[in-house]
A and B are shown apart, each in its own frame.
Chain A
Amino acid sequence: MTLFQRIRKILLGITMILAAILFMMVSDDDKYDVVIAVLALGLAVQGIKDIVFYFTMAKHMVGGKIILYQGVIVLDFALFTGSLANVPKVYILLYLVGIHAFSGVVETLRAMEARRTVEGPWKMKLVHGIVNFALALMCIIYIRHTNTAITIYCLGLIYSGVIHIISAFRRTAFILID
């Protein structure tokens, strides 16, 4: 990991924690719209970036199609997210929780895959994935009590932020080429 990547990870972690705290403290209903707009924009940029990268570079790479699939799915999520302007807040919360659960499942699957072919940093990934999924599940259980669900969701966000910051300080194996 380069210094720049570490700084980016730390900043992302801090942003997630601040967003979670803001989400818990601000009572205004507009906060949902802001969250949705930011999420939709972020996902759209990522999705388009992945698709362009596939057609310009990864098309010829072994396993490169997965980058295209990821791009299309993320862009799809972005468009869907952007269309959630006039729906009851509980559905928005449900959707955010769904994304959290989905990322938890993806993280768990990636950890399982890493466990098969490499030894090492799969444990933290696995715990991160399971905790993410468990928190999302708890949000769904308490979905009728919106405030409790929001608190649980924010705790999940803070947890993810902390994990990002911790992983920025981890030593990464770098093969010195002789």
Chain B
Amino acid sequence: MQMDFHYYATYCAAYIAGYSHEESLDIAYSAQFVDHCSRTVLAGVKGPSEAATTQLQLEMMDARTDPVGLQDITRIWASFHFLPRDLYAEKKDCSRRYLQKYRLICGPNSDLVAKTVKLAMDKPLQSVGIAMHVLADTWAHSYFAGTPSLVINNTNYVFYELFPEDDGYTEKQITFRHKTSTPDDLENSIYTNSLYQRSENTIMNLGHGRAGHLPDYSFARYRYVPAWGGYEDIVKDNPSDYMKAFTQMIYAMKYIRGSEASFETGVYDNAAIEPYLDRIKEILEKRQLIACDDWKAFGEELSGQSIPDYSIDTYFTEYTESSKKDKDDTFLGKFFRGAIAHKGMVIEEIYRSKNMLAGYSRKSLKKRFMK
């Protein structure tokens, strides 16, 4: 997902869930900052490097792909962008090494999503934003894993874009190219993707790189054959998935605010968006590279307030100029604590499933040595 959903749509969802304009902005900023909080940014503000929620292209290029390096990559990407759907999934006749990667395939409505939302309860708004980013990405990034893997994340030439027509769809084969400098050509279904690399652990095989930005476009509907799926097609209907992400975010934030008694997976607050349904559908289905303007206009109509453009360094000065003991109480300080807590929870859960791909959390390490 891009800034249009993580910042502007999250603002809209927060406002509909009952947060004030200012609170919604804090949640939206935090949700978007998950895509920017890299070690490079953390070094710039002298923040804790373990709070990294993403990796920059340059950091990835230098990332090691030995077991320790892979654990570092997996901790970040599986925790914040590709939350695993089922850490105890089974597949017949496969090696343990394969199974560990297979279990990291991302998907919505998992136990981990519920734990993510519950972890944000009674926490600062920054933690709510982080949880909303993670929840939303489970819909967009379904079927890909947050660890480099050819055998899980690869795709092949069977990749068709679907266009609704009458009761069904017409199909158009997608052409992929490897030029990040050229924007995707929506008119002719030409998209940029990562190069095919035969090495299992190359970063080219991380997440949905082989499918390009298709999972990030709310309008996209496509059919393809995932590497792990036993030659079965998957039809990905992003407008429908993004709608579920939006209504699930509203439900989750109502729970965090205390206006819902419990958080159950598979529940969506469709009633809350009833008055805006056509408007939201229109934004989601519009073929455009980024829908920031449309979501922003919708958000401003909702709250009657102006939504400032996202600026990465909004809270940098407050953090850098705070004394050491006050840092934790700044906006970024709360974000870093929230990020570390969430990452620790996910690593711990992956470790408890006897999967070493994300390594140990501090908690499990302590447990190990206390035995």
Tell me if chain B binds chain A.
yes
Inter-subunit contact B177/A178 (CB<8 Å) = no
Is the C-beta of B227 less than 8 angstroms from some C-beta in chain A? yes
Number of interface residues of B (CB under 8 A): 58
Question: What chain B residues lie within 8 Å of A57 (beta carbons)?
Answer: 95, 97-98, 150-151, 200
Question: What chain A residues lie within 8 Å of B216 (beta carbons)?
Answer: 177-178
Question: What chain B residues lie within 8 Å of A178 (beta carbons)?
Answer: 1-3, 6, 35, 213, 216
Nearest 10 interchain pairs by C-beta: A119-B177, A173-B178, A175-B209, A61-B151, A56-B95, A120-B178, A117-B157, A118-B176, A120-B177, A61-B227
Residues of chain A whose beta carbon lies under 8 Å from any beta carbon of chain B? 1-5, 53, 55-64, 67, 116-121, 172-178
Q: Which of B56-64, B114-122, B161-169, B244-252 binds A?
A: B56-64
Is the C-beta of B135 less than 8 angstroms from some C-beta in chain A? no
Inter-subunit contact A62/B212 (CB<8 Å) = no
Per the bound structure, the CA–CA distance linking A64 and B154 in Å amounts to 10
Residues of chain B whose beta carbon lies under 8 Å from any beta carbon of chain A? 1-3, 6, 35, 57, 60-65, 77, 81, 91, 93-95, 97-98, 102, 141, 150-151, 154, 156-157, 175-180, 190, 192-195, 198-200, 202-204, 206-209, 212-213, 216, 225-231
What is the distance, in angstroms, from B218's C-beta to the closest C-beta of chain A?
12
Question: What chain A residues lie within 8 Å of B3 (beta carbons)?
Answer: 178
What is the distance, in angstroms, from B206's C-beta to the closest C-beta of chain A?
7
**A177 and B194 contact, Cβ closer than 8 Å, known pairs A60-B228, A62-B156:** no
Inter-subunit contact A177/B151 (CB<8 Å) = no
Per the bound structure, the CA–CA distance linking A120 and B176 in Å amounts to 9
Question: What chain B residues lie within 8 Å of A4 (beta carbons)?
Answer: 64-65
Question: What chain B residues lie within 8 Å of A173 (beta carbons)?
Answer: 177-180, 192-195
Inter-subunit contact A177/B208 (CB<8 Å) = yes
Question: What chain B residues lie within 8 Å of A1 (beta carbons)?
Answer: 61, 202, 204
**A174 and B209 contact, Cβ closer than 8 Å, known pairs A62-B154, A118-B175:** yes
Question: What chain B residues lie within 8 Å of A59 (beta carbons)?
Answer: 93-94, 98
Q: Which of A62, A64, A174, A177 contacts B81 (CB 8 A)?
A: A177
Question: What chain A residues lie within 8 Å of B213 (beta carbons)?
Answer: 175, 178
Per the bound structure, the CA–CA distance linking A175 and B213 in Å amounts to 7
Inter-subunit contact A175/B193 (CB<8 Å) = yes
Per the bound structure, the CA–CA distance linking A1 and B200 in Å amounts to 13
**A60 and B193 contact, Cβ closer than 8 Å, known pairs A3-B62, A175-B212, A177-B77:** no
Question: What chain A residues lie within 8 Å of B61 (beta carbons)?
Answer: 1-3, 174
Q: Which of A2, A3, A116, A174 contacts B157 (CB 8 A)?
A: A116
Inter-subunit contact A2/B175 (CB<8 Å) = no
Known: A59-B93, A173-B192. 14 other contacts (CB 8 A): A2-B65, A59-B98, A60-B102, A61-B151, A117-B157, A118-B176, A118-B178, A119-B175, A119-B179, A120-B179, A173-B178, A174-B194, A175-B213, A178-B216
Per the bound structure, the CA–CA distance linking A59 and B228 in Å amounts to 10
What is the distance, in angstroms, from A65's C-beta to the closest C-beta of chain B?
11
Chain A residue at minimal CB-CB distance from B211: A175
Question: What chain A residues lie within 8 Å of B175 (beta carbons)?
Answer: 117-119
Question: What chain A residues lie within 8 Å of B6 (beta carbons)?
Answer: 178
Q: Which of A3, A116, A172 contacts B178 (CB 8 A)?
A: A172
Question: What chain B residues lie within 8 Å of A53 (beta carbons)?
Answer: 200
What is the distance, in angstroms, from A61's C-beta to the closest C-beta of chain B?
4
What is the distance, in angstroms, from B41's C-beta to the closest C-beta of chain A?
14
Residue of A61, A67, A175, A176 ringed by the most chain B CB atoms within 10 A: A175
Inter-subunit contact B176/A117 (CB<8 Å) = yes
Inter-subunit contact B206/A177 (CB<8 Å) = yes
Question: What chain A residues lie within 8 Å of B230 (beta carbons)?
Answer: 60, 62
Q: Which of A56, A64, A67, A174 contacts B57 (CB 8 A)?
A: A174
Chain B residue at minimal CB-CB distance from A172: B195
Chain B residue at minimal CB-CB distance from A121: B178
Per the bound structure, the CA–CA distance linking A64 and B227 in Å amounts to 9
